[in-house]
Amino acid sequence: MNNTYSIGKVPLQWSLEKLSFLTLIYCLLIAGHTSAVETYPARPIRLIVPFPPGGGADTLARTIGKKLGDSWGQSVVIDNRPGGATNIAAELAVNSLPDGYTLLESVLSHAVNVSLYSKLNYDLEKHLSPVIFLATIPNILVVHPSVPVKSTRELIEYGRTYPNVLNYASTGNGSPQHLGMELFKHFTQSQFTQITYKGATPAHTDLVSGQVQVMFANMLSSLPLIRANRLRALAISSSKRSPLVKEIPTVMESGVPNFETGSWFGISVPAKTPTSIVNKLNTEMNLILKEKTLLDKMNAEGAELMGGNVERYQQFIHQEIKKWSIVVHTANIRLD
């Protein structure tokens, strides 16, 4: 008598054998995945930087990458991918495998681009997962010494009384200098005219010569000019005074509530990167950010190291997207 039963036209014995085989394959895949997570990192890690070598973002990435590599015994390779208003770097990260071996240095522009472009090839909050908030670097609101104002309040009054008479320098639409001044205009209802430059150096050159009169300038670049009395500092764009220039008040102290801006930096990874890897990266980078040598180095460059858990950076990015959306739409700024 035949004791082999059938499911439809397929023998039950064959079905059970096939099911056992598939189960074995599934278990092997899960085991392989778990093993890969447990041994992470097992090879070099790529850290994509959305700017050319040599700038502040690149310096921070290389410093963090070096310390991460030393700690884990795996090199961290810096991959500079400038261009496209930081979108080239973001798209490269988004299209990489979510295995923890591709990191992105996420920056202010990534949050702003959500509103600046009518269509992006990625969704910042859906296609990238935050790892850690690294640092912030404020800008300093400066004017040429010929401008008849000595404080932020006086500048606001001048911009209201003589709208668009003063020109402000920026390094292009969507740059921190541009966005900082547009946020300032939005909060104060004062008016200034933007003059764009292809970089900070020509912008500072024309600012010092008086061709333009106002700028939210990079702290490190502007400090020597301020100390040489070639520029007049009115306020700093951070939420609290900088230890480097304790004498310069914040914009908020100067009568503009809730004003805070500047460059910021963090680490993100492709979405669906295993949570265990994200948490391992977050834990290790938090330890790095507490090292005294790094603190001293970055503080000397005007940066404030941040750190914290994944949720902190996630919430910060979400808030930045909302904040700059208001500014971009109010000022009617578009890049496409």
Residue ranges per domain, the chain? 45-137+262-331, 139-245
Q: What is the CATH T-level fold of the domain 139-245, as seen in this structure?
A: D-Maltodextrin-Binding Protein; domain 2 (3.40.190)
Closest alpha carbon to 307 in 264, 272, 266, 246: 266
Exposed/middle/buried for residue 22 (C-beta within 10 Å: 0-12, 13-18, 19+): exposed
Position 236 pLDDT exceeds 90 = yes
- Report the pLDDT value the prediction gives residue 56, as an integer from 0 to 100: 80
Contact in structure between 104 and 266 (CB atoms under 8 Å): no
CA torsion 168→218→105→108, rounded to 10°?
-40
Exposed/middle/buried for residue 30 (C-beta within 10 Å: 0-12, 13-18, 19+): exposed
**Cis before residue 145, ω within 30 degrees of 0?**
no
Contact in structure between 120 and 113 (CB atoms under 8 Å): yes
Q: Which CATH number fits domain 45-137+262-331: 3.90.1150.10, 3.40.50.1820, 3.40.190.150, 3.40.630.30?
A: 3.40.190.150
Position 273 pLDDT exceeds 60 = yes
Contact in structure between 289 and 134 (CB atoms under 8 Å): yes
- Dig out the tokens for 317 from the structure: 């990015």
- Report the pLDDT value the prediction gives residue 22, as an integer from 0 to 100: 55
Tell me how many degrees the CA angle 236-63-89 measures, rounded to the nearest 5.
80
Share of the chain above pLDDT 90, in %: 68
Position 35 pLDDT exceeds 50 = no
